[in-house]
Amino acid sequence: MADWRYEEHLRTPVGRGDLPRGGHDGVAGGAACGDLVRLVVAVDGDRIGGAGFVAEGCGALTVCGSVACELLDGASVREAASISVERLADGVGGLHPGKRHAAELVADALHRALGTAVARDGAPGGGAARGTLVAMSGGVDSAVAALKAGPDAVAVTLELWRDPENDAESSCCSHSAVRRARDLAHRMGMPHLTLDLRDAFRAGVVEPWIADHREGLTPNPCVRCNGDVRLDALLDLADRIGCATLTTGHYARTTDDGLLRLAVDPGKDQAYMLSGLRPASIARLRFPLGGLRKPQVREIAEQADLPVAHAPDSQDLCFLAGTGHSRFLARHGDLGDRPGPVRDAETGETVGEHRGAHLYTLGQRRGLGVAAGEPRYVVDTDVASNVVTIGRRERLLSDRVVLRDLVLHREPWRVDGVKLRYRQQPRSARLVEAPEPGELGRGTVVLAEPLLRAAPGQTAMLLDGDVVLGSGTLA
């Protein structure tokens, strides 16, 4: 027999149709399952100012919406962010497994609404700062970072990408990753917020990535995402929720004077992805994994019984998961295949056909479809004439790299190393031309030994030993 509370919520639902003015929407469900819930939450300072919902579909959805509104009544933002699927189900003495779906949808709608309400109306600098804001992607690294975050931590997951064809569901950008992260945080007893950054991500990361391909560049969207999109939004949220610092699962370290430092594990180091950050942002970041190696991280996760202890590492750009590079450009950037000639740099002859110059990058060796005795590399791509030129390795060797949009946080003479690709160890180098520290400009790096040229659009990270002094973009 159903719990009396279930019947009570069904008969007289709390907050049904009673949507607070000035509140923010969270919607979950839809045509696929026939259940749809819209929850509206208003935030006043660090408390919930009001909550209401409308639901279409099964009765359990109305019941869970009603339980959510009851729990939200008079709650602080942190208490609201702690409302888990379990709490919703417990509110009616447990739910039949077939009805759990309703609690999950209501939790999705609630946390979407709450995240938007806090991001827009939360009190900046309100209350004494306590604890850290932990960025959880649903993967093992950020779960372990969360374990090490200390008391009063609040977790947040960014919803960055949702494709109409659902193609990135397995990646850290996707909605299933948001659910996974929220469940993990709630298991650890941590409040969790969802922040919908899809518009900013599309405008600030995906569109420029497509535009760069159109121009024949090889962009680095992770650097842009970390710098301009997600960390700024996360630090703003930290202010609004009353957290002094931001903790992430990046493999990187910081120095006492506010600069980035390479991680202990060279195979996992992610300082490159963060090298565009301003020192003011770096000073607020905490990287608990910077001194650990990946097997140690998995061991910690296993000991804590985290279900993601053996989750695979993310391999590709998050928004490409399940789609692939060329298909994504065709679908989202109208940059379909455009066959053209592959020329040999030595002879000038056409030696094959490529799929579109925008799909190739300097230094690329595989996927050229050209049989030659000795290895051939892409030595030039020209999107205007749609020609890809290949040649011997020596054609790509260079000891000079020109950078644009270069920013240094210390004097140029300190630079003694550079990293030109994510998966490349730092190389000895010095700067012979550079803007003043803190100013944006052009610069020239001279390498101690010639190196295969990296593609225009890639990031160059400048180092003094293992300390990151700044970064620029290959011109």
- Using CB under 6 A as the criterion, which residues of the chain lie in contact with ligand ATP when the complex forms? 135-137, 139-142, 145, 157-158, 160, 172-173, 248-250, 270, 313-314
Helices (H), 215-305: 221-224, 231-241, 271-274, 279-282, 294-303
- Of 97, 50, 46, 45, nearest to 69 by C-alpha is 50
Residue 411 phi/psi, 5° resolution?
-65, 145
Terminal CA-to-CA distance of the chain, rounded, Å?
70
170 is an annotated ligand-binding site residue: no
What length does the chain have? 475
119 neighbors 240 (Cβ within 8 angstroms): yes
Backbone angles phi, psi at 194, to 5 degrees: -110, 130
Burial profile 52-71: b = 16 or more Cβ within 10 angstroms, e = fewer: bbbbebbbbbbbbbbbbbbb
Single-letter residue type at 421: R
Shortest distance (Å) from residue 206 CB to ligand ATP: 14
139 is in an annotated binding site: yes
Told to judge if 69 belongs to the known catalytic residues of this protein, a careful annotator would answer no
CB of 38: closest distance to ligand ATP in angstroms? 23
Annotated binding residue 466:
no
Q: Is 141 annotated as ligand-binding?
A: yes
> In this complex, which beta carbon is closest to ligand ATP, that of residue 64 or of residue 246?
246
Place of tokens 């996992």: 268
The rounded radius of gyration (Å) of the Cα atoms in the chain is 25
Q: 137: annotated binding-site residue?
A: yes
Minimum CB separation from ligand ATP for residue 234, in Å? 7
171 appears as a binding residue in the annotation: no
Beta carbon nearer to ligand ATP, 85 or 136: 136
**Cβ at position 419, least distance to ligand ATP in Å:** 16
Q: Which is nearer to ligand ATP, 106 or 225 (CB)?
A: 225
What stretches of 122-174 show up as alpha helix (H) in DSSP?
A: 140-147
Pick from 324, 363, 385: which is nearest to 457 by CA?
Answer: 363
Q: What strands, in cross-sheet order, belong to the sheet with 285-286? A: 192-196, 154-159, 132-135, 245-247, 285-286
Cβ proximity to ligand ATP: between 35 and 265 the closer is 265
Helix, strand, coil shares of the chain, percent, nearest 5, are 35, 25, 40
Q: Is 158 annotated as a binding residue?
A: yes
Write down the catalytic residue from 172, 173, 222, 225: 225
**Cβ atoms of 58 and 79 closer than 8 Å:** no
Exactly one of 64, 69, 172, 318 is catalytic; name it. Answer: 318
Q: Tokens 């700044």 map to which residue?
A: 470
Q: Measured from the CB atom, is 223 or 403 closer to ligand ATP?
A: 223
* Closer residue to ligand ATP (CB): 40 or 113: 113
Distance of closest approach, residue 172 Cβ to ligand ATP, in angstroms: 4
**Across the beta sheet with 36-44, what order do the strands follow?**
24-29, 36-44, 47-56
Closest approach of Cβ 43 to ligand ATP, in Å? 20
Smallest gap from residue 239 Cβ to ligand ATP (A): 17
- Residue among 169, 166, 229, 167 nearest 199 (CA): 229
94 labeled part of a ligand binding site: no
When the beta carbons of 85 and 229 are compared against ligand ATP, the nearer one is 229
Residue 64 appears among annotated catalytic residues: no
Tokens of 336: 């379909």
State the DSSP string of 216-227: T----HHHHIII
Annotated binding site: 135-142, 158, 249
| Residues labelled catalytic | 225, 318
Annotated binding site for ATP: 135-142, 158, 249
